[in-house]
Amino acid sequence: MKSVIPVTVVDIKVACSQCNLRELCLPFGLDPNEIDQLDELVGSRRKIKRQQHLYRSGESFEAIYAIRAGSFKTDVILEDGRDQVTGFQMTGEVLGLDGISTEHHSCNAIALEDSEVCVIPFNRLEELSRTVESLQHQFHKIMSREIVRDHGVMMLLGSMRAEERLAAFLLNMSQRFTARGFSPSEFHLRMTRDEIGSYLGLKLETVSRAFSRFQEEGLVAVQQKHIRILDTPGLKRLLNHHAA
Amino acid sequence: MKSVIPVTVVDIKVACSQCNLRELCLPFGLDPNEIDQLDELVGSRRKIKRQQHLYRSGESFEAIYAIRAGSFKTDVILEDGRDQVTGFQMTGEVLGLDGISTEHHSCNAIALEDSEVCVIPFNRLEELSRTVESLQHQFHKIMSREIVRDHGVMMLLGSMRAEERLAAFLLNMSQRFTARGFSPSEFHLRMTRDEIGSYLGLKLETVSRAFSRFQEEGLVAVQQKHIRILDTPGLKRLLNHHAA
DNA sequence: GGGCCCCTTTGATCCACGTCAATACTGTTT
DNA sequence: AAACAGTATTGACGTGGATCAAAGGGGCCC
């Protein structure tokens, strides 16, 4: 199953201090001098083309990756071929934390569009975070945030019905686009219905039908991957007003 | 919803070096001198009676907890009352990592039986792990392990059918009991069918029926909470031989 | 040691979502 | 501009697990 992964390594110096994502990413909370130290550690960037793997399950773990541009999905595949999308990641978010535990990656990370990541060698990150307290703390927060996010997904998969799951997904996407300075109400999804379905524990047809339903009810305007949210409170109501 | 939480603080000194759980817990990989430093940091133990909360969602985050005796569940509760069990924790496992992200706990931790935890003040843990490299690394591994575990649960909730979920659950329990020196094939579950169901995204009736089915097929012997696994390969086969 | 409450099991019925299938749309390639 | 492949929508039907209901155990408290 191994295949050659085409990789582009860009050897120009990266500057976290110049990065407009620093408020979302590892540099958050660091002072300018500390950010410079982090800069020295981020050795290279890597460009990943759409549909290509950033890393694969089983590969040895060397670095974590901060998304500089583009977006990714992570998935887990069972022996029998079933797969589950475990997350979608956007700029400023960190990939690869799953690998720390066993020194090998336990999922696949695949670019949803042409993307670029900052490569952060993990042993050097641990080293620096031993002297830079704010970096240590921010890194811990990022890991913890991932755990909290996962619990949210478990809630979604374990206790919500199809339309609630999709509403939660759309609201989450909206919020994350907003945090990146994009419109809260209008955006392009980079993943297919099938990928959304896998993430939400639904079949693609069910996702499609739920979209159509939302459209009929005037909650959103859907045109393929282009989404316009028309009634945010309506979507939120869908989530909480569940007759227990 | 706030209520007084009865707490017993035991002020005797705890010694990780004497603890038979150290191979599963934070001290793993530390040399004797380093373990002594960790010992100094673990200020107190806390006894938690069955059904009592170790912490609640919303409470401010101060410490993480290593389970010294007993077991716990963690759950998340939505406004409308729906709740989802996000995990069951056994001795040597660490609770509270969810709180790092926002400085407030994002789930509830409830004892499944009379239990005891070691209280590890988080700011002091960060401090010590700045000088003790092995502690830093072990802590990162523990957080990462939690992320990997969560991905496994997402797989389970998103892609498996009821009997597969229960088989995966039983095999996981068996493996964790084994790691603690107990029988791989015979154990007492400390949680109810309802709690198992919540964790697995199923109703308690479905869990009960799946147990009965396993019993009929000679895979396990079930007597209430007492489980005897009769055919481990059979359970594993259930997991992987899914006609995709 | 008796009584009560919670937990579990089992059966009957229902329904949300999956499955199967056909058609339509979009963007890309030549 | 035509042809194509991947993606999305929609309909008809089937089913796994939810729901509703009733009865049987076990453990715990007084």
Q: Position of tokens 């240590």?
A: A136
pLDDT tens-digit readout, B24-53: 999 999 999 999 999 999 878 999 999 999
pLDDT tens-digit readout, A179-199: 999 999 999 999 999 999 999
Instruction: From B177, B169, B226, select the one nearest B198 (Cα to Cα).
Output: B169
pLDDT tens-digit readout, A153-162: 999 999 999 9
HSE (CB half, 13 Å, CA atoms) of A81? 4
Please provide the average confidence, as pLDDT, over all residues in chain A. 92
- Report the 10 Å Cβ neighbour count for B32: 8
pLDDT band at B21 (very low <50, low <70, confident <90, very high): very high
- Report the 10 Å Cβ neighbour count for B212: 11
- In the predicted structure, residue B81 carries a pLDDT above the cut 90: no
Chain B contact for A155 (CB, 8 A cutoff): yes
Instruction: From A40, A76, A54, select the one nearest A9 (Cα to Cα).
Output: A54
- In the predicted structure, residue B9 carries a pLDDT above the cut 60: no
β-bridge partners, B228: B186, B221
Domain ranges in chain A are: 8-146, 160-240
Can you read off the two tokens belonging to residue A150? 């996962």
- In the predicted structure, residue B63 carries a pLDDT above the cut 80: yes
Q: Percent of chain B at pLDDT above 90?
A: 85
Q: Position of tokens 């990714």?
A: A72
β-bridge partners, B83: B77
Vertex A220, ends A219 and A226: CA angle to 5°? 170
Please provide the average confidence, as pLDDT, over all residues in chain B. 92
Closest partner residue to A130 (CB to CB) among B133, B151, B153 is B133
- Whether nucleic acid strand D comes within 7 Å of the CB of B124, the answer is no
pLDDT tens-digit readout, A72-102: 999 999 988 899 999 999 999 999 999 999 9
Best residue in B159, B161, B164 for a mutation probing chain A (most A CBs within 10 Å): B159
What secondary structure does DSSP assign to B121-188, as a single string? EHHHHHHHHHH-HHHHHHHHHHHHHHHHHHHHHHHHHHH--HHHHHHHHHHHHHHHHHHTTS-SSEEE
Distance from chain centroid for Cα B112? 10
Enter the CATH code of domain A160-240.
1.10.10.10
- Whether nucleic acid strand D comes within 7 Å of the CB of A166, the answer is no
Chain B contact for A78 (CB, 8 A cutoff): yes
Domain A8-146 adopts which CATH fold?
Jelly Rolls (2.60.120)
Closest partner residue to A144 (CB to CB) among B101, B145, B244 is B101
